[in-house]
């Protein structure tokens, strides 16, 4: 049975988080080093370090 990406009939004003599919994965050793098994979730700090919304240390 395949889990749908999002509900078929989502309710308005409800927050939904799509299910993470087990694809595009790191090897076990690399996942432990990077802190995630999902390559798609591996976002280097440099990508958002200058964005005040994503980095609370910017004033």
Q: State which residues form the domain around 32.
A: 24-59
Q: What percent of the chain has pLDDT over 90?
A: 29
**Domain presence at residue 15:** no
Cα dihedral sign for 49, 51, 14, 7?
negative
**Domain presence at residue 30:** yes
pLDDT of residue 11: 87
Structural domain count of the chain: 1
Average pLDDT over residues 17-29: 89
Please state, in angstroms and rounded to a whole number, the distance separating the CA atoms of residues 18 and 27: 23
Reported pTM: 0.56
């Amino acid at each position: 049975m395949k889990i749908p990406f999002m509900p078929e009939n989502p309710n308005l004003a409800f927050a939904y988080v799509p299910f993470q599919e087990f694809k595009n994965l790191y090897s076990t050793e690399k996942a432990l080093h990077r802190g995630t098994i999902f390559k798609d979730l591996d976002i280097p700090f440099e990508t958002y370090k200058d964005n005040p919304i994503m980095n609370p240390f910017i004033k």
